[in-house]
Amino acid sequence: MAIGKWIGGILGFITTGSPLGALAGYVLGSWFDAALLSFADGNDGPHTFEDAQRRSGSSSTYSRNTRTEYTRQQHYEGQRNSFMFSLLVLASYVIKADGKVMHSEMEYVRNMLRINFGNQAVVEGDEILKKLFERQKQMDAQRAGSYKQTVYESCRQIYSNMSYEQRLQLLAFLCEIARADGNVPKSEIEALRWIASSLGLSSKEADSMLNLDSGSNNLEAAYKVLEISPDATDDEVRKAYRKLALKHHPDKVATLGEDVRKAAEKKLQEINAAKDLIYKSRGL
């Protein structure tokens, strides 16, 4: 995932003058010249459909079907880049919610980027996070809470541009990052619930994602995963599971790539494990 495609994808997602756009400009600005050189050298793929057409050597065959495929590919890359940048912006807030940057959390982010977006994304994502931490420090030094306000406004923009299921997967990744060191302090839980609300999601959905890793062997956690209380009726348990399985179905995020779909598939397996524990305890 080269820098040029980062820029093209993100600028296709943000709007001029938006908080998310401002953050993108801050962390990506120094890369523009290199990206433009890459385009000029032909190292980052065709910049426009016309570039691709010229390189194909045939204007007669590289027509309607190829144009459609090219547009689809550009849209796909834009969605992935936008999703990843949004993830890093929100992760920069969650990671520092307790006032410190944990090595385990940073390593988890790197591993997540490697698995879901490739090795090049690790290098670029690491640099983006460092710049976001720097920006957070600068903004809060000038006016306390200003970075949080920018993150809130970014969340509202993400809400307007991403589907419900994509925002759920975004929240799931953030919860995984918070759990990376085996301990989620109150400050991070509150940050995740606040982000969930800002994304148009609920605190119950945040709690569900936070309990996924223990929902298969802890009954209390399993109920939180299904977003219900232990005194729910059997019918309510079944209904809650069906609703959860539907909204977390991996195919709902397939447009972000096969790797992200697989991450959602793993999440659904954990939801199923929590359901199985509850069913077993009730003899269902």
Q: Report whether pLDDT(140) > 80.
A: yes
pLDDT-derived band at 188 (thresholds 50, 70, 90) equals very high
Question: Would you say the pTM of this structure is higher than 0.85?
Answer: no
Whole-angstrom distance, CA of residue 218 vs CA of residue 220? 6
pLDDT-derived band at 43 (thresholds 50, 70, 90) equals very low
Whole-angstrom distance, CA of residue 215 vs CA of residue 274? 5
DSSP 263: H
